[in-house]
């Protein structure tokens, strides 16, 4: 009985120490929030959104998208997380790291890092921040803010690590938004990003196909939220799934090199939920920009990063760099 009580006290002590250590990493905001919203689980600090370098329609559409797609299974998150974070080392992210996730959406990538990182500021300007509140409800080392790239509410050189995954290409001036992020990272700290690639290594046929798909995106993204979701579900079934099934078939019969050439191969081992979510993401968003590997590297250099590592693996391009100036 006594031993059991001592064990319980030790466990409680350990929990409080960890929580204290994580919370003591937080730095104060450098602007006062205009509001403190009550999420179901955490407080959400809401900041004034600037009227430049943000596309309001895009932000609203993501708020709608993430409120429909936020129930990722742990398996989905872990599997994709391994692909996204293949270039993140323990030196970049560990229990002493203070980080931020700009454009966190549902908070799924913050979630992947919470067990590795000291403390994380999860930031998003859209209603998605409420879904992040749900997903991250048990993570004491996360604080939620509603803010945007142009006004990240912390002093420059505050963080050891920053990330922005699948976000900067939806912001009108991607380079500026990247610089805004990197400014918040300390010299010697790291910034990680994922930006859509422009199919630079693909042939004429693939690029023509993409041109058509992009035209469809521009039409679909202008529809009402319900119609958009409906059309994107149809696209997931009639366009994504046949290609995904074909890629799976080639993989099964050992013809991997052919499978990899099939458009949307990336999804061959993803769940239908992820496929539907990504169809809405791809076709439902009015503004997207695409970059070559070299353009990504150049932008990262201009933002003040060096020692840049671009992953050879999908999704393309995800890259990390060290802040040098
Ligand atoms: C494709 S989602 C990515 C969400 C998340 N990083 C993920 O990969 O699951 C893009 C996110 O960027 C956010 N966003 C759009 N404009 C932004 C801006 N100017 N500053 C910060 N975030 C922005 C949207 O609200 C949306 O949640």
Q: What is the pLDDT of residues 2-36, one digit of tens each?
A: 676 666 666 556 555 566 667 789 999 999 999 99
CB of 45 closer than 6 angstroms to any ligand 1 atom: no
Within a domain: 75: yes
Judgement on whether residues 276 and 151 belong to the same structural domain of the protein? no
pLDDT at 202 over 90: no
pLDDT at 12: 58
Q: How far is the CA of 19 from the centre of ligand 1 (A)?
A: 28
Judgement on whether residues 278 and 137 belong to the same structural domain of the protein? no
CB of 160 closer than 6 angstroms to any ligand 1 atom: no
The whole-angstrom separation of Cα 12 and Cα 227 is: 50
Q: How confident is the model at residue 74 (pLDDT cuts 50, 70, 90)?
A: confident
CB of 107 closer than 6 angstroms to any ligand 1 atom: no
* Pairing of the two strands 318-323 and 185-194: antiparallel
Judgement on whether residues 193 and 251 belong to the same structural domain of the protein? no
Within a domain: 1: no
Judgement on whether residues 27 and 79 belong to the same structural domain of the protein? yes
CB of 170 closer than 6 angstroms to any ligand 1 atom: yes
Pocket mutation for ligand 1, best pick of 170, 179, 290 (most atoms within 8 Å of C-beta): 170
Judgement on whether residues 164 and 248 belong to the same structural domain of the protein? no
Q: Over the stretch 100-115, which tens digit does the pLDDT of each residue have?
A: 999 999 999 999 999 9
Within a domain: 4: no
CB of 149 closer than 6 angstroms to any ligand 1 atom: yes
Task: For residues 181-190, give the mean pLDDT.
Answer: 98
Judgement on whether residues 17 and 66 belong to the same structural domain of the protein? yes
The whole-angstrom separation of Cα 284 and Cα 7 is: 52
Task: For residues 48-53, give the mean pLDDT.
Answer: 92
Domain of residue 31, residue span = 10-197+290-323
Phi then psi for residue 173, to 5 deg, are: -110, 90
Task: For residues 306-322, give the mean pLDDT.
Answer: 97
Judgement on whether residues 157 and 238 belong to the same structural domain of the protein? no
Percent of the chain with pLDDT strictly greater than 90: 82
44 closest CA partner among 135, 145, 114, 147 = 145
Q: How far is the CA of 322 from the centre of ligand 1 (A)?
A: 22
Q: Over the stretch 225-281, which tens digit does the pLDDT of each residue have?
A: 999 999 999 999 999 999 999 999 999 999 999 999 898 999 999 999 999 999 999
pLDDT at 66: 80
pLDDT at 325: 86
Q: How far is the CA of 167 from the centre of ligand 1 (A)?
A: 4
Q: How far is the CA of 142 from the centre of ligand 1 (A)?
A: 17
Q: Which atom of ligand 1 is nearest to the CA of 101?
A: 6
pLDDT at 45 over 70: yes
The whole-angstrom separation of Cα 291 and Cα 34 is: 36
Pocket mutation for ligand 1, best pick of 124, 145, 148, 281 (most atoms within 8 Å of C-beta): 124
Q: Over the stretch 124-170, which tens digit does the pLDDT of each residue have?
A: 999 999 999 999 999 999 999 999 999 999 999 999 999 999 999 99
Judgement on whether residues 172 and 209 belong to the same structural domain of the protein? no
pLDDT at 296 over 70: yes
Structural domain total, the chain: 2
Taking all residues of the chain, what is their mean pLDDT, rounded to a whole number? 93
Within a domain: 105: yes
Judgement on whether residues 231 and 304 belong to the same structural domain of the protein? no
Q: How confident is the model at residue 71 (pLDDT cuts 50, 70, 90)?
A: confident
Phi then psi for residue 148, to 5 deg, are: -130, 175
- Under 8 Å CB-to-CB from 216, ≥6 apart: which residues? 235, 283
Count other C-beta atoms under 10 Å from residue 157's C-beta.
Answer: 14
CB of 281 closer than 6 angstroms to any ligand 1 atom: yes
Q: How far is the CA of 166 from the centre of ligand 1 (A)?
A: 7
CB of 113 closer than 6 angstroms to any ligand 1 atom: no
Judgement on whether residues 316 and 272 belong to the same structural domain of the protein? no
The whole-angstrom separation of Cα 147 and Cα 122 is: 10
Judgement on whether residues 55 and 145 belong to the same structural domain of the protein? yes
Q: Whose CA is nearest to atom 21 of ligand 1?
A: 148
CB of 166 closer than 6 angstroms to any ligand 1 atom: yes
CB of 103 closer than 6 angstroms to any ligand 1 atom: yes
Within a domain: 2: no
pLDDT at 209: 87
pLDDT at 13: 62
Within a domain: 212: yes
Q: Whose CA is nearest to atom 1 of ligand 1?
A: 166
Q: Which atom of ligand 1 is nearest to the CA of 108?
A: 9
Judgement on whether residues 32 and 133 belong to the same structural domain of the protein? yes
Which spans in the chain are helix H?
A: 2-25, 56-68, 74-84, 108-113, 128-135, 174-183, 204-220, 225-235, 241-252, 256-261, 272-283, 293-302
Q: Whose CA is nearest to atom 19 of ligand 1?
A: 54
CB of 132 closer than 6 angstroms to any ligand 1 atom: no
CB of 100 closer than 6 angstroms to any ligand 1 atom: no
């Amino acid at each position: 009985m006594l031993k059991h009580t001592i064990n319980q006290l030790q466990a409680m002590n350990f929990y409080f120490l960890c929580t204290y250590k994580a919370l003591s990493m937080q730095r104060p905001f450098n602007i006062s929030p205009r509001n403190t919203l009550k999420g179901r689980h955490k407080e959400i600090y809401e900041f004034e959104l600037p009227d430049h370098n943000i596309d309001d329609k895009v932000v609203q559409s993501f708020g709608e998208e993430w409120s429909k797609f936020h129930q990722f299974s742990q398996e989905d998150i872990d599997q994709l997380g391994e692909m996204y974070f293949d270039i993140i080392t323990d030196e970049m992210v560990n229990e002493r790291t203070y980080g931020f996730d700009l454009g966190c959406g549902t908070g799924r990538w913050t979630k992947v890092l919470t067990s590795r990182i000291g403390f994380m500021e999860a930031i998003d300007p859209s209603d998605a921040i409420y879904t992040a509140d749900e997903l991250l409800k048990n993570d004491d080392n996360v604080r939620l803010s509603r803010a945007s790239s142009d006004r990240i509410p912390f002093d420059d050189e505050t963080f050891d690590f920053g990330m922005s995954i699948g976000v900067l290409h939806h912001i009108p001036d991607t380079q500026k938004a990247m610089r805004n992020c990197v400014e918040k990272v300390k010299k010697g700290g790291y910034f990680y990003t994922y930006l859509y690639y422009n199919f630079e290594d693909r042939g004429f046929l693939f690029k023509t196909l993409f041109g058509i798909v992009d035209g469809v995106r521009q039409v679909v993204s202008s529809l009402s939220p319900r119609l958009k979701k409906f059309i994107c579900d149809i696209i997931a079934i009639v366009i994504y799934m046949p290609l995904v099934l074909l890629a799976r078939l080639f993989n099964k019969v050992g013809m991997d090199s052919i499978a990899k050439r099939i458009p949307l191969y990336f999804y061959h081992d993803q769940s239908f939920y992820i496929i539907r979510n990504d169809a809405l993401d791809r076709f439902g968003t009015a503004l997207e920009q695409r970059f070559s590997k070299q353009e990504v590297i150049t932008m990262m250099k201009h933002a003040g990063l060096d020692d840049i590592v671009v992953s050879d693996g999908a999704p393309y391009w995800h890259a990390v760099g060290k802040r040098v100036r």
